[in-house]
Structure 1
């Protein structure tokens, strides 16, 4: 069996190596650089999404038991929007940017020319298996790159459908899907890429970065983290709780990289907040949320076991104030609220990525900022308040990939904002024009004629030449004139 396993790994490595060689050969023809190729591929991708919307939703539901509403809105509709924006803006994005030059290079002109990086690898996660697979691909295609996409094997129905549809709609000499598990991903990471985009957890993110370092390959990492929600008492309590619930349990039942991971509020306000959350949760998902069709199940038994382990920790079980119901046969966990779980417990130190929501109480709301900043920087940070000074302090004090005031999660739908992490929550950003930029090299180009060749830059060097060159570099026309006068007297 071990020998057969080794043979299989060698076969996978050879297949991947040959595939990458083929795509690099196709990219070397320069086909992807044209506006026509990029536009045709974006339009084909948009057609694919429009023609197979229901089939895509069915695959997502099969993999995650995600509510059809969420599959259609948070994945298909958002992808259509991203692709439509790229189609609309592509010509503008591709235009060189004219920039000013200096006295040092006079006479001259200059521009920044966006060019594709080359052949890029996109490794996507299971929680939004269509959105987070194709959203980076849209940016890579718009920027003129060839792309290899590796979808998550944890969402097999979606992975299979992606391979099928991309094979039917896209230019397979330059855009390909590689299905499989660890062996395929490992083989892909051994290849030399021009950029790698990975969405997932920090443990695998480190593996990706280590592999990329061997070839000095740039990486775009979106890694998540413990995204906090600070709740002040000066709020519309019903609206705030509904928006917290929508971000935590209404997006894949907490299995979202920007889902609220824990709440912070004052000891005095905590009881009101808990009661409001309980009331709205029952209104949204009923008295028995395990039967609700509007809650996703946990993706698989491994993640289910990980989440139940967080709940089963002895010191944590006594802090559950709502929910805590589990159903192993359906891999469902009800929306669960915990109050003041120990700070050194697993649930307060690991990214939860599920329907469990701890609430941390503080004496005054400003104390929550120190708690957030004492940990690793999150992918998102949320604040609910009507206090203008508190809003300003939060934005200035708390470092996170993105910040939302008086809502959760919605910043990812704003294509004029970059989406990405900071430090351990990721590096780089995409969405909208930022996706194009993420897969683009901004090439500096300076144009000069043979006229105006100044001897001042050439040996033999003199004090007068030195004065003139300093003046030219400083950009001072007056100083340059005086230096030039002085030079003529030398």
Structure 2
């Protein structure tokens, strides 16, 4: 359904009426969203399978279940989040008190990607509802089955003056939306080039943005790591959703003397998770479309394939693939891979590994597998990245008490849990002064008052 001037005006009136601001309304709408997802869960699972070949279990674990968790967390804590925060007041402002109120932003535009087309649309939506916003949702047209189900779900459960869905080619539709309407916030998840374009368009109207982008997230493994456990967690983190995950390990940095053992274990875990023929596994996904398939296929000649490399264009299938002898100057290492290809490099010292990571600065995530505390601290303290794990992959984004977001080219702003509420609100400063006394020191004439100014303002 297109967004018309009439509908946008109705959203504006709805927000200005104060209807979305009360705790009761927000909690009711969050519960409604939870009920909606519950009712449409079978349709969402089928849509995610049609778009990305996700099994029902993977669809629940990586998409639907995370949406439930986000909504539940918001319902449990929303009353606390909405409470004004009392802060201290300088003596010079006596008799006053100060507080910070989180104010809803207004009408928010949420633009979702295709790789997790349900979770990355509905999780931010939960935050926007909790914050008291009206919302326009733009699902990815590249996951059309999921987009259609979500539109049907939203239309069934919500009034369009509160939440509505806009469909179509994102390159055209988003540009039209931003030219026609002034949104109060834009929340975008997707690629770095598109993120730059959206930020540029938003700047024309000084619209604030949250950008959840990507980059080349490194995975570092040293000789003190539990190799079997590291291999299992790296294999799962890399090849879930056929590698089409913004926080997937993009490349592997392995200490020289544990490289062979780790790669042997990764190959074993690929067979354990997806059988010797991942193409026949119900748990191994497919590439989203032919354009992405061809892009990934073009990377294969850029290194030596250690195992994997099988591909089937008709089925959009590329096997879990590990490669070495890749040059850092090649496109495979200059672009986010976003697929089931894992380049492997070795290093001798922590400093050497850090220098390699800095060639692809500010990744969205960083993973360190080590049982050496100094090594853990060295990488987490000396490298810039959005967030990450020690001795794990991906799972930091499932903790609602942790902020999820990027740094520099990997994004700006954070969300999840309270951070989602903060993303869709702004802190409003309120200072209240009593009238029972009105110290004259602040009023002219000022002659003779310098000593008081210096006492209070220093």
CA contact (8 A) 1:230 1:365 kept: no
Q: Distance in 2 between matches of 1:359 and 1:395?
A: 21
Cα deviations by residue, 1:23-74 (Å, 9 ceiling, x for unpaired): 1122221211111211111010011122222121111111111122110111
Q: Distance in 1 between matches of 2:4 and 2:411?
A: 27
Choose which of 300, 311, 321 in structure 1 pairs with 2:289: 300
Cα deviations by residue, 1:223-280 (Å, 9 ceiling, x for unpaired): 011000000011111110000011011x211100000000001233222221111121
Alpha-carbon distance, 1:281 to partner: 1.2
In the other structure, the counterpart of 1:378 is: 363
In the other structure, the counterpart of 1:94 is: 82
Q: Is 1:120 aligned to 2:108, yes or no?
A: yes
In the other structure, the counterpart of 2:140 is: 152
Alpha-carbon distance, 1:185 to partner: 1.9
Correspondences of 1:17-96 after superposition (within 5 Å)? 17-96=5-84
Alpha-carbon distance, 1:331 to partner: 0.3
In the other structure, the counterpart of 1:230 is: 220
In the other structure, the counterpart of 1:188 is: 177
CA contact (8 A) 1:90 1:142 kept: yes
Q: Is 1:467 aligned to 2:425, yes or no?
A: no
Alpha-carbon distance, 1:18 to partner: 3.7
218-227 or 449-458: which moved more? 449-458
Q: Distance in 2 between matches of 1:17 and 1:170?
A: 19
Q: Distance in 1 between matches of 2:103 and 2:68?
A: 25
Q: Distance in 2 between matches of 1:57 and 1:294?
A: 13
In the other structure, the counterpart of 1:6 is: none
Correspondences of 1:400-415 after superposition (within 5 Å)? 400-415=385-400
In the other structure, the counterpart of 2:246 is: 257
Q: Distance in 2 between matches of 1:470 and 1:70?
A: 65
In the other structure, the counterpart of 2:433 is: 448
Q: CA RMSD in A?
A: 1.4
User: TM-score, normalized by length of structure 2?
Assistant: 0.97
Alpha-carbon distance, 1:468 to partner: 0.8
CA contact (8 A) 1:290 1:327 kept: no
User: TM-score, normalized by length of structure 1?
Assistant: 0.91
Q: Distance in 2 between matches of 1:292 and 1:63?
A: 17
In the other structure, the counterpart of 2:122 is: 134
Q: Distance in 2 between matches of 1:87 and 1:373?
A: 40
Cα deviations by residue, 1:358-377 (Å, 9 ceiling, x for unpaired): 01112224411111123221
Cα deviations by residue, 1:383-423 (Å, 9 ceiling, x for unpaired): 00011110111111111000210000000000000000000
CA contact (8 A) 2:220 2:369 kept: yes
CA contact (8 A) 1:378 1:425 kept: yes
In the other structure, the counterpart of 2:257 is: 268
Q: Is 1:285 aligned to 2:270, yes or no?
A: no
CA contact (8 A) 2:247 2:364 kept: yes
CA contact (8 A) 1:16 1:188 kept: no
CA contact (8 A) 1:240 1:407 kept: yes
Cα deviations by residue, 1:283-311 (Å, 9 ceiling, x for unpaired): 22122222222110000000001100111
Q: Is 1:435 aligned to 2:420, yes or no?
A: yes
Correspondences of 1:273-422 after superposition (within 5 Å)? 273-312=262-301, 316-317=302-303, 319-422=304-407
Alpha-carbon distance, 1:20 to partner: 2.0
CA contact (8 A) 2:8 2:161 kept: no
Q: How many residues align?
A: 456
In the other structure, the counterpart of 1:241 is: 231
In the other structure, the counterpart of 1:162 is: 150
Q: Distance in 1 between matches of 2:410 and 2:4?
A: 29
Runs of 4+ in 1 over 4 A off after TM superposition: none
CA contact (8 A) 1:265 1:365 kept: no
Q: Distance in 2 between matches of 1:53 and 1:399?
A: 38
Alpha-carbon distance, 1:455 to partner: 2.0
Alpha-carbon distance, 1:201 to partner: 0.2
Q: Distance in 2 between matches of 1:276 and 1:158?
A: 35
Q: Rg larger in 1 or in 2?
A: 1
Q: Which runs of 5+ in 1 are unaligned?
A: 1-10, 475-490
CA contact (8 A) 1:137 1:147 kept: yes
Alpha-carbon distance, 1:349 to partner: 0.9
Q: Which runs of 5+ in 2 are unaligned?
A: none
Cα deviations by residue, 1:324-357 (Å, 9 ceiling, x for unpaired): 1101110000011011301111111110000000
Q: Distance in 2 between matches of 1:350 and 1:17?
A: 39
CA contact (8 A) 1:16 1:187 kept: no
Cα 1:357–1:16 change in 2 (3 A) is farther
